[in-house]
Structure 1
Amino acid sequence: MTDGLRTIVYPVKDLDRAKALFGALLEVEPYADEPYYVGFKDAGQDVGLDPNGHAKGMTGPVPYWHVADIRARLAALLAAGAALLQDVQDVGGGRLIASVRDADGNLVGLVQDA
């Protein structure tokens, strides 16, 4: 798997309304539809809706970069001056995620698939 930006997650307050909006926008049904996450696929891009995003410090959409070694990449970002927002966490099926905030307050997410 090559590294790259393939997932964008939006923090949402009303999951049902957001699901309807993104369904209309993307003209596809979600591939994941859980109370804690709704995910759509469109042209190889994942678009996720996180109803707990605001509580986790998400201030807007977060681009998630898919990487081969999440711990090494996270360490490199922290060494380069990023601030840890969410440490490496398994979100199911061996998929690991983490996120940081850069010096300008932008959020950067990382994903490592099993």
Structure 2
Amino acid sequence: MFNGIRAIMIFAEDPEKSARWWSNILGSEVHLDVDGDAVYAWLDVAGVEFGFHPLDEKRNRRGGSPVPYWAVDDVDAVRQRLLDAGCTHHRGPLDVGDGTGRKIAQLTDPFGNVIGIDGF
């Protein structure tokens, strides 16, 4: 029935600027679809479309979407990299409690979107 995540859409004031910032973090090319003044920008990362859509505070407000979690090898190292790049602390790191040492953390990117990281 469900076959994994196909796309994660983030609503952003400036989709292209958000996508370019994330492309530097993730090392992925920015793709653009321009329709008049509206720009939808996205990255293809590990088979998932990480998209940035123009926000609409009435229907699709900033930070109003689910929190995407990126699988990472080292939560502490990736968290520090994101903080150094301009993210701010939101929550965690937290031990998931499954006995494996797995933990999660949430950060807010420079555009007000909360993202998560999940790993060890």
TM-score band by shorter chain is: 0.3 to 0.5
Give the TM-score, by structure 1 length: 0.48
Give the TM-score, by structure 2 length: 0.46
